[in-house]
Structure 1
Amino acid sequence: MHVNRVTRARRRGALLAAAALLGSVGAATGPASAAPSGEVTAAKAAPTRPDCSSAYRIEQTLDGGTTWRMCWRYDTESGLILDKVSYRPKGEPRPIRVINSAKLAQIHVPYDDGRAEYDDLTGAGFGWGLQNIKGAECPGGTVKKVKVPEMGTFNGLCTTTRSRGHAYRLANDLGSKVWQAQGKDLLVYTVNKVSWYEYITEWRFSSDGTIAANVGATGKLAPDDYNGTDGRGWPIGKGARDYATSHSHNVFWRLDFGLDGSNKGRVEQYDSKVTPPRRNGAPKVRTTRTPVTRELAGDARTMRWWRVVSARGRNKDGHPRSYEIVPGPSAKHAGRGFTRHDIYFTQNRACEQFASNNIRDCGQGAPKSVDGWVNGENLVNPVVWVNIGFHHIARDEDQQPMPVHWQGFQLAPRDVTAMNPLTPADLAGQNGHHNHGS
């Protein structure tokens, strides 16, 4: 999908607007107390003390008694940023801090024919393309006003709840009783327009403690961007004359964890190996844990996963609290060093904010992408970078408008609570070994 002259002009206009923005890059709007990512200090927040003013506060109690709290702000490159995210499940005496700061860190868009390549956050005006959201797009929720420097004020942030189907289901052995619940998520999202594309930046917070981050790409195919001679596209329209050029969307997120209010979490990698059966035996699986003590560029594999472990908190069973990183489907792009790995763990540096084309000042000669920041430092205050790729080979159904294609990942709570936080009262005693005859 070659970028046409109109598209290039729109990108240049966005860059000129960025250069003129008060003489500085990355101006943000939000609560005065919201520090830049990487500069949040560990603190035990009082449960009743708000971390930000009401205009920048999101708080939602979901079915089952789970309450999510967070602050939001808006940055002219990253777009929506969520700070000080805490989770208070039923039965916990106070909120559990999960994340200091979470945001998009890049949308890298290289085209298959090698003629175009973009960093949509730091090179194409992503933050200045915030769109107004009407009430019909935020059913049952609230649309918050967002100030974008030199662009004005937008009805740009939706907070609402969405049903997600079964939260759990359990039938007793006799089949005489079924425990089941339908879950709801807190949904927080914005829409940003970059040329012909529109990106939906979505965060979902579930009543069981799960966090999901997704980016949905929609909008339209560039109307003049067809080339039927290079063999790197798909025929769109009548016959086999017009070809939309194929390209990739490599989306990065930056997560600064702060489990239980401490920046000093630790990272662990788990790998499971299957041994085929011998004779009439059964296959066996052995799982090993590897502490990640130094910066790492990691690759997803079958039966491999990572978790970030609290340095401070334990659940009521005495187990360290943690969150597991669960990547979604990804088409890894081997074209650049920073896209060759699925996950990066780096030591927190305030200037390291964007996975590619980093526009913060890290000093003369400093690397400009996340792969260059993995240089063997000890992981004391780890930052997690998640890379999820999508190779977009256009189809007739992409016009017009283009259906949303999603890419993202989940953060799954692992031992944050001693039991499922939605456990019904009459099953609350079944923690660990118990009588299964009920």
Structure 2
Amino acid sequence: MNYRKIAAGGAVLALAGLMLTGTPAHAKAPAAACAGSNQVKETLPNGTTWQLCWRMQPQAGLVLEKVAVSYKRYPQQLLVLDSIRLAQLNVPYDSGETEYNDITDYGFGGGFLETLTGDDCKGGSARTGSDGAATPRRRKILCVSAEPSGLAYRSHDWDAQGREKVYNKLGHDLVLRSISKVGWYEYVTEYRLHDDGQISARLGATGDLSPGDYVNSSRGWPIGKNARDYASMHYHSAFWRVDFNIDGKNKDKVEQYDTKPDGRGPATAKLKTTKTDIAKEGSFNRANRRWWRVVSDTSKNTDGHKRSYELSVGADDKYEGHPETTPDVTFTQSHACEKYASGNADPQCATKKTIIDFAKDKETLKDPVMWVRVGFHHVPRDEDQSPMPLHWQGFDLTPRDATNMNPLTPDGRTSQNGQPR
């Protein structure tokens, strides 16, 4: 594999042409959990403020910690995550001849972490920090930007006097990203913090197809002139480690919901949704109309509903080659030595190499950690050269009852809480 390092540069201050102002004066923000240079605290145009700490870890790369949000309408800051980071990237090739675990074998930090340059952070702020190497260097390694996310909501309504009114609003995301080069691939670790409280974790892949991984036609796709060179098909199975701490209470639990047919009503089929408490460690797979949430057992919104965040996974290709790449999500009790979804090498967890091992104990979940796997089977195409267009895989953490209404609700709609009477 070909690795390289790039020297650090100076900082950029503008953020995507949008003014980020910091926490509003009326927000009750706790004391900072990290030094100023490792803190991000920005207010988006709609009044949503995100505050967090960031650092670069040698294997995992970009780590976000103490992630909290507040809103113009709900100024009390809400802690959501203790931490979120990548926990493995398994890359097996369809030929069966090559396989990499890019996080634990190489790493996204240190010498594999790229210095931001050119258009890497155009319109954003390139933050300088320690690259996490054994002999750390301070470089421009984190891009922070505010980016329009499209239409946030729209409602065509009439007021009490019968006057027509259209409510619509453009949304924005606070985006944090870093770039790591492992072999021929260049990976973009990205977290998008939406102004409605949603958190999107994404891994983008670009760079180049590996020139050493061309195979016969049954396991590759023809790239180049005629049917001569076949770039190998391969997998990217990415894992994230998500440690919740909703409202800072350390009283979270896990619930699974399933919706199944339940007879027939006068107009159509009836569906029934049931809840299953996941009280002990385990691995789980998706099914039609199945979803999970991490819910606070003590913190409630002003409607009296328990605050939670729901896991939403989009496109996914499951790799059946390893037991740990088969589950969609695994929940384990928090242990400091359980760091990586596979290849876990902490001597204090000598017998726990993978998430399957972590969950075998069936410990009671008092402080649950969520391990999310999202796979992508890459079938190369002519357009992948060169450089390869970015392709993405990831998941969303969507607030469920964290606030009593949409935190972006306009003034004219604040009375619409519950069924109109």
Q: Give TM-score scaled by structure 2 length.
A: 0.89
CA contact (8 A) 1:259 1:311 kept: no
Q: 1:60 aligns with which of 27, 39, 42?
A: 42
CA contact (8 A) 2:338 2:349 kept: no
Return the alpha-carbon distance in structure 2 between the equivalents of residues 181 and 137 of structure 1.
28
Corresponding position of 1:89: 71
Corresponding position of 2:25: none
Corresponding position of 1:120: 102
AA at the equivalent of 2:356: D
AA at the equivalent of 2:172: K
Shift of 1:194: 0.2
Residue correspondence of structure 1 range 300-311 to structure 2 within 5 A: 300-311=286-297
Return the alpha-carbon distance in structure 2 between the equivalents of residues 112 and 135 of structure 1.
35
Q: 1:163 aligns with which of 136, 142, 148?
A: 148
AA at the equivalent of 2:39: R
Return the alpha-carbon distance in structure 1 between the equivalents of residues 369 and 334 of structure 2.
5
Residue correspondence of structure 1 range 83-232 to structure 2 within 5 A: 83-127=65-109, 128-134=111-117, 136-148=119-131, 149=133, 150=135, 152-172=137-157, 176-228=164-216, 231-232=218-219
Return the alpha-carbon distance in structure 2 between the equivalents of residues 330 and 276 of structure 1.
31
CA contact (8 A) 1:264 1:382 kept: no
AA at the equivalent of 1:309: V
Q: What's the CA shift string for 1:53-83, capped at 9, x where partnerless?
A: 1100001111221111000011000001000
Question: Is structure 2 residue 230 aligned with structure 1 residue 248?
Answer: no
Q: 2:406 aligns with which of 420, 433, 436?
A: 420
Question: Is structure 2 residue 270 aligned with structure 1 residue 295?
Answer: no
Shift of 1:114: 1.1
Shift of 1:132: 1.5
Corresponding position of 2:298: 312
CA contact (8 A) 2:262 2:270 kept: yes
AA at the equivalent of 1:285: L
Shift of 1:294: 0.6
Shift of 1:48: 4.3
Return the alpha-carbon distance in structure 2 between the equivalents of residues 400 and 91 of structure 1.
47
- Unmatched 5+ stretches in structure 2: 6-27
Corresponding position of 1:39: none
Corresponding position of 1:30: none
Shift of 1:361: 2.1
Q: What's the CA shift string for 1:246-296, capped at 9, x where partnerless?
A: 110000000010101022300000000024647x64111100000000112
Return the alpha-carbon distance in structure 2 between the equivalents of residues 94 and 162 of structure 1.
24
Return the alpha-carbon distance in structure 2 between the equivalents of residues 78 and 175 of structure 1.
55
AA at the equivalent of 2:157: N
Question: Is structure 2 residue 55 aligned with structure 1 residue 69?
Answer: no
Corresponding position of 2:14: none
Shift of 1:359: 2.3
Q: What's the CA shift string for 1:208-256, capped at 9, x where partnerless?
A: 1000000000100112432236x21111111111111111000000001
Corresponding position of 1:20: none
Shift of 1:133: 1.3
Q: What's the CA shift string for 1:152-194, capped at 9, x where partnerless?
A: 3321100011111110000015782100000000000000000
Shift of 1:99: 0.2
Return the alpha-carbon distance in structure 1 between the equivalents of residues 248 and 259 of structure 2.
31
Q: What's the CA shift string for 1:30-72, capped at 9, x where partnerless?
A: xxxxxxxxxxxxxxxx724211111000011112211110000
- Unmatched 5+ stretches in structure 1: 1-6, 15-45
Residue correspondence of structure 1 range 325-344 to structure 2 within 5 A: 325-344=311-330
AA at the equivalent of 2:321: G
Return the alpha-carbon distance in structure 1 between the equivalents of residues 185 and 249 of structure 2.
38
Q: What's the CA shift string for 1:369-410, capped at 9, x where partnerless?
A: 111111211111100000000001111110001011100000
Return the alpha-carbon distance in structure 1 between the equivalents of residues 263 and 204 of structure 2.
40
Question: Is structure 2 residue 31 aligned with structure 1 residue 49?
Answer: yes
Return the alpha-carbon distance in structure 2 between the equivalents of residues 116 and 223 of structure 1.
13
Q: Supply the RMSD in Å over aligned alpha carbons.
A: 1.9
Alignment partner of 1:209: what SS?
A: coil
Shift of 1:134: 2.4
Question: Is structure 2 residue 381 aligned with structure 1 residue 381?
Answer: no
Compared CA separation, residues 74 and 388, structure 1 to 2 (3 A)? same
Corresponding position of 2:344: 358
Q: Give TM-score scaled by structure 1 length.
A: 0.86
User: Aligned residue pairs: how many?
Assistant: 393
Shift of 1:113: 1.3
Alignment partner of 1:160: what SS?
A: strand
Return the alpha-carbon distance in structure 2 between the equivalents of residues 260 and 380 of structure 1.
15
Shift of 1:135: 5.6
Q: What's the CA shift string for 1:318-357, capped at 9, x where partnerless?
A: 1100000001210011110100110000010100010010
CA contact (8 A) 1:167 1:180 kept: yes
CA contact (8 A) 1:269 1:307 kept: yes
CA contact (8 A) 1:347 1:380 kept: yes
